[in-house]
Amino acid sequence: MDSFLAWIELPVGVWLACSAVLMLGAFVQRATGFGLAVIGAPLLLMLEPRLVPVVLVLFGFTISLMMVRHYWHEVRLDTIGVALIGRLPGNALGIWLLLAAPMVMLEKLIAVIVLFAVLVTLCRFQLPVNRFTLFMAGVLSGVFGTVAAIGGPPIVLLMHGFPPDRMRGNLAAFFILTSLLTLLTLALAGQLSVWHFKLALTFLPAVLLGNAVADAVAHRLDTRLLQMASLALCTLAALGLLM
């Protein structure tokens, strides 16, 4: 145990708490199509700020790979292509914030991003889907995704009118590509280290377990109730960061 703790460079209590957060986030994401980063970012920031955003981006990529194989036939590159172009300036702005802003400001920004994600999920605004809105959603997604690994809400905002399977498939494909882009951006900025990959490896069983449990039982649960409970937890965590 001592050698394990020395390897991961985390107290065992913090490691266990982070594992539980990631397992819950993976469960909610698999059950509802959205939620790993929204749940994980504020809670992990309280437990171990060094994990945000890298570990969440890594597992966002992992969960998206698991999801996209179920909905590959629903993916439309013309839908996500313009948004992907918007991610480029958005990622650049996001990495500038990570490097230039003090931690206290980043905590407040991440809290605001989480609350925005909750608002998007609850209110389901209907916006026109065109090249301009897709590009702007991509820019915001780049900023949010690089700072807090929460790049989904701006895209979800535009896809609310899509059939559920089409939305899940396009979101999963978008997250796969943008996660790779974000990891490259973080690496070029010196924000990605071997330590992050070591930690992610130790957390992988918890993420896979959360995903597997969701596969087994999610169809028996009230998805809306599960989503409301997870959003309430996210809101409390975000408000805690703002205080």
End-to-end CA distance of the chain: 36
Give the pLDDT confidence of 24-43 residue by residue, as tens digits: 999 988 887 778 999 999 99
Quote the number of domains for the chain: 1
**Structural domain containing residue 74:** 2-242
Q: Cα separation of 192 and 77, whole Å?
A: 29
Sign of the alpha-carbon torsion through 144, 150, 152, 154: negative
Show pLDDT as tens, one digit a residue, over the chain (243 residues). Answer: 678 878 889 999 999 999 999 999 999 888 877 789 999 999 999 999 999 999 999 998 998 888 888 888 888 877 789 999 999 999 999 999 999 999 999 999 999 999 999 998 888 777 888 999 999 999 999 999 999 999 989 998 888 778 878 888 888 899 999 999 999 999 999 999 999 999 999 999 999 999 899 889 877 888 788 888 888 989 999 999 998
Cβ count within 10 A of residue 67: 21
Give the pLDDT confidence of 145-181 residue by residue, as tens digits: 999 999 989 998 888 778 878 888 888 899 999 999 9
Q: Cα separation of 208 and 79, whole Å?
A: 29
